[in-house]
Amino acid sequence: MSKIAIITALDRELHPLVRNWKPSSFSYGNRSYRVYQRDNVIAFAGGIGKTSAILAAKAVVANYQPETLLSAGLAGALIHTLKVGNVITPNVIMDAACGSEYRCDSGGGVLVSAAEITGPGSKQELVEHFHALAVDMEAAGVAEVARAEQIGFGCVKAISDEADFVLPPLKCFVDAQGGFQTGRFVAWASVRPAVWPATIALARNSNRAVRALCDWLARNIQQSAFSTQPVARNQSEECGVR
């Protein structure tokens, strides 16, 4: 049994942490996952978006029976005081699609999980509606599974884009499996000089955020008490785990 399962969206969010961990793989349904293990902790990437996060969380529960699911990765700031590389541990996760709310004891503040990659305009709407610190796409999905399985849940995110940062149109390059089509994006961006500054800045900021996230995990994962069952409120039928 693994005590903690760390789930990110993409492999690169884990790389600095797991370079010396033991790699292996497992399958669930029609998906295969590459996982890394050290002592009683496993870590793996489940893909971008809520659907991918739910499937990944179900897969790791079925194969490893962890005591706690930890949603980790990058997030966009919704408030101007959060800067690139800041690490947050929210204790309230909101699902923007249906308003479900999940709570855990560790950390503080609100993270909202959105259905798609958000820019400054969408971010402002999320601030007004949810009073959240940051936005991601996966935490609510992981929390749903933790609640359904009656196991612990925690969340840690590093800021990769600040509140007023204008992202390139990344959502066009997310495939059906929740992977990011880097080759297609590079080919698209290479002939559009107007997006080069934002693309270069995002790559630099994402690398900084990944290092901050993995440094935090390396220091805290064994000591952190990510063991509280999440509590869901105002959960509508369409948000339930199936």
Q: What is the pLDDT of residues 105-134, one digit of tens each?
A: 778 999 999 988 777 778 888 988 899 999
| pLDDT score at 215 | 97
Q: Look at residues 129, 144, 127 and name the one whose alpha carbon lies nearest to residue 235.
A: 144
| pLDDT score at 123 | 86
Which domains are assigned to the chain?
4-167+207-235 (3.40.50.1580)
| Predicted TM-score (pTM) of this structure | 0.90
Q: Are 95 and 113 contacting, i.e. CB atoms less than 8 angstroms apart?
A: yes
- The DSSP code sequence of 6-64 is EEESSGGGTHHHHTTSEEEEEEETTEEEEEEEETTEEEEE--SSHHHHHHHHHHHHHHH
Collect all residues with Cβ–Cβ distance below 8 Å to 164 and sequence separation of at least 6: 80, 120
Which string of b and e fits 7-40 if b means at least 16 CB within 10 Å? bbbbeebbebbbeebeeeebeeeeeebebbbeee
Q: What is the pLDDT of residues 172-204, one digit of tens each?
A: 888 888 888 889 999 999 999 999 999 999 999
Q: What is the pLDDT of residues 7-40, one digit of tens each?
A: 999 999 999 999 999 999 999 988 999 999 999 9
Tell me the mean pLDDT in the region 161-177.
87
Structure tokens at 72: 């980790």
Please tell me the distance from the alpha carbon of residue 81 to that of residue 91, in angstroms, as a whole number: 19
Higher-pLDDT residue of 171, 202:
202
In which region does residue 146 sit, left (phi positive, over 0), alpha (psi from -120 to 50) or beta (all else)? alpha
Whether pLDDT at 237 is above 50: no
